[in-house]
Amino acid sequence: MQNKGTKYIFVVGGVISGVGKGIASSSLGLILKNRGLNVTAVKIDPYINVDAGTMNPTEHGEVFVLSDGDETDQDMGNYERFLGINLTRINYMTTGRVYQSVINRERNLEYKGKCVEVVPDIPLEVIGRIKKAGEMAGADVVIIEIGGTVGEYQNLIFLEAARMMKIEAPANVSFIMVSYFPTPGTIGEMKTKPTQYAVRTLNGAGIQPNILIARGSTNLDDKRKEKISMICNISSDKVISAPDVDSVYDIPLNFEKEHLSDKLCEIMGIVCQKPDEKEWIKWRNFAAYAHNGKEVIKIAMVGKYFETGDFILSDSYLSVIEAIKYSAYQEEKKPVISWLNSSDFEEHPEKIKDLLNYDGIIVPGGFGTRGVEGKILVAEFARKNKIPYFGLCYGMQMAVIEYARNVLGLKDANTREVNPDSKNIVIDVMESQKENLKTNHYGGSMRLGGYKALLQKGSIAHNAYKASEIIERHRHRYEVNPAFIADLEAKGLIFSGRSPDGVLMEIAELPREVHPFYLGTQYHPEFLARPLRPHPLFTAFIKACTNKK
């Protein structure tokens, strides 16, 4: 490859948010990676929050945790999954984070007495971070997704950073706009005007897109392509249709049908390898499973973060859903996930029997009191009725509480998070977390990111991982209280994964003779599931669900 310096591709959104900029950016990354380029990605979120960790998932969607413990946006998960890479905190920034570093630097006198200004000092900080992300990855191409849509006050400063980068090195910076083309029901025709305005607004920030990705319910026809091309100054072959799809994993394939990687290489002025056929076939096969899964596996996901007004927002558990898919596809199964609100089982205990209709149950991560008793009922029902149960973080803690209550007979067993007055706090706050809670130090202070755990030979976990040592990503403040471990084990619960010092219980499971699959992890395995590398525990769960059928 003839590469004169790292190339930067900015991806911005037009018209509405939520049109799939993150998936588009990830897919661009994948098709370029497939041309032999080393690609990394940066996500910019324009809000003030320093990270995504303090936001309610129904506000923001899932909090995706990186190996280094950064609590980030779900798009970071998309990049990691599509590109098969691990990102770090330099790959993620927010307005809050950028200002925080500039202000810290000012306080340390690093600006040497100069007046520190919004422009250029804030964009310069943004640029510094983007370049560092590229350097750290040794990247040929850095894809930078600017959150939100053009025209929002919040992301102006980031567009300014992009414009400044372009001025500094015109040949190395290009722009893609992902915009939405509505087809209003009453008109029945796809409309281009909102996108025309969006491009004009981007032009107003001094930026001309090189490529326009046209999101909509259908393909953009030639007539509209030409119109957009003429009005927005983009040649019509650089206007790419991206209609709705059933499976996001088809998108890189669809992009390549439009020869997008060739077009990108042409715009970036680089010559790169032919597509890597071997890798491409793997992806194509994987993407095909999404459509070919034969047998349906019915999974109940019992949580609380999915109601937004009258709508269901499955985004809160995005990585869990994707992890289920990868393992199910590998087993040639078609997963069908039902969203069950745990509070519902508290109000209508008779509904618990409905769980018999499912092949498996997942209780994912969570916080706080609401819906907890419902989750405990679900853990009990799954245990007694031998329905495969997979608890992720809070879901594991719920299973332990249930066991303490109903097998050890500790009727008021609970987690300190919910009932600090309980006499049997089986899930207690970690020693290292006490000070944080006392001082209201909540942001970025949980036990976060990759930690090692040792697995017990012969356990379900050990058999699934085929390893005795693992590293998984965490996000929690509470842990199994060491005072109860001996009693829980004496009554049959196995802590098959522990921190290397033996203090923290990382996995709880029931022996296979007792239950086909009853397992909870204190960590979040979903963050390490990858399309071409399904997570072994999800695979073990899916196999158990299959057997239940």
DSSP string, 313-367: -GGGGHHHHHHHHHHHHHTTEEEEEEEEEHHHHHH-GGGGGGGGG-SEEEE----
* C-alpha count within 13 angstroms, C-beta hemisphere, residue 75: 28
Stretch that binds ligand GLN, among 92-100, 165-173, 359-367, 501-509 (CB under 6 A): 359-367
* 526 binds ligand GLN, rule: CB under 6 A: no
Angle, in degrees to the nearest 10, between helices 74-83 and 318-330: 30
* 417 binds ligand GLN, rule: CB under 6 A: yes
**Ranges within 216-255 binding ligand GLN (CB under 6 A):** none
- Least distance (Å) from ligand GLN to the CB of residue 395? 7
Amino acid type, 316:
S
* 77 binds ligand GLN, rule: CB under 6 A: no
Stretch that binds ligand GLN, among 3-11, 119-127, 470-478, 500-508 (CB under 6 A): 470-478
- Least distance (Å) from ligand GLN to the CB of residue 475? 5
Residue 242 β-bridge partners: 215
DSSP string, 99-126: HHHHHHHHHTTTTTTPPP-HHHHHHHHH
- Least distance (Å) from ligand GLN to the CB of residue 549? 29
* 393 binds ligand GLN, rule: CB under 6 A: yes
* C-alpha count within 13 angstroms, C-beta hemisphere, residue 271: 2
* 64 binds ligand GLN, rule: CB under 6 A: no
- Least distance (Å) from ligand GLN to the CB of residue 396? 8
- Least distance (Å) from ligand GLN to the CB of residue 308? 20
- Least distance (Å) from ligand GLN to the CB of residue 307? 18
Give SS3 for 221.
Answer: coil
Q: Which is nearer to ligand GLN, 211 or 429 (CB)?
A: 429
Give SS3 for 312.
Answer: strand
What are the angstrom distances between the C-alpha of 181 and each of 146, 188, 226, 265, 419? 19, 12, 14, 26, 50
- Least distance (Å) from ligand GLN to the CB of residue 427? 7
- Least distance (Å) from ligand GLN to the CB of residue 98? 27
Residue choice 82, 358, 367, 527 for contact with ligand GLN (CB under 6 A): 367
* 166 binds ligand GLN, rule: CB under 6 A: no
The tokens describing 339, both together, are 């969203």
* 475 binds ligand GLN, rule: CB under 6 A: yes
Residue choice 13, 22, 366, 450 for contact with ligand GLN (CB under 6 A): 366
* 375 binds ligand GLN, rule: CB under 6 A: no
Q: Which is nearer to ligand GLN, 410 or 480 (CB)?
A: 480
Residues 6+ apart with CB under 8 A from 472: 450, 451, 453, 506, 521, 523, 524, 525, 527, 528
Q: Which is nearer to ligand GLN, 10 or 367 (CB)?
A: 367
The tokens describing 377, both together, are 């009922």
Secondary structure letter of residue 421 according to DSSP: T
* 69 binds ligand GLN, rule: CB under 6 A: no
Q: Which is nearer to ligand GLN, 527 or 541 (CB)?
A: 527
Stretch that binds ligand GLN, among 42-50, 217-225, 245-253, 471-479 (CB under 6 A): 471-479
Catalytic residues: 393, 524, 526
Stretch that binds ligand GLN, among 214-222, 348-356, 390-398, 506-514 (CB under 6 A): 390-398
Asked if residue 77 lies in contact with residue 332, where contact means CB atoms within 8 angstroms, the answer is no
Nearest to 493 by CA among 415, 418, 416, 391: 391
* 317 binds ligand GLN, rule: CB under 6 A: no
- Least distance (Å) from ligand GLN to the CB of residue 366? 5
Q: Which is nearer to ligand GLN, 85 or 537 (CB)?
A: 537
- Cα-Cα-Cα-Cα torsion 7, 88, 86, 172, nearest 10 degrees, comes to 0
Give SS3 for 31.
Answer: helix
Residue 334 Cα to chain centre, angstroms = 21
Residue choice 20, 293, 360, 365 for contact with ligand GLN (CB under 6 A): 365
Q: Which is nearer to ligand GLN, 12 or 377 (CB)?
A: 377
Asked if residue 98 lies in contact with residue 125, where contact means CB atoms within 8 angstroms, the answer is yes
* 473 binds ligand GLN, rule: CB under 6 A: no
Asked if residue 119 lies in contact with residue 157, where contact means CB atoms within 8 angstroms, the answer is yes
CA separation for the pair 309, 307 (Å, rounded):
6
Q: Which is nearer to ligand GLN, 241 or 397 (CB)?
A: 397
Residue choice 478, 484, 518, 527 for contact with ligand GLN (CB under 6 A): 478
Residue choice 129, 476, 515, 543 for contact with ligand GLN (CB under 6 A): 476
Residues 6+ apart with CB under 8 A from 175: 9, 10, 11, 12, 162, 166, 202, 207, 208, 209, 210, 211
* 390 binds ligand GLN, rule: CB under 6 A: no
Q: Which is nearer to ligand GLN, 389 or 394 (CB)?
A: 394
* 394 binds ligand GLN, rule: CB under 6 A: yes
Binding site residues, ligand GLN, CB under 6 A: 365-367, 393-394, 397, 417, 475-478
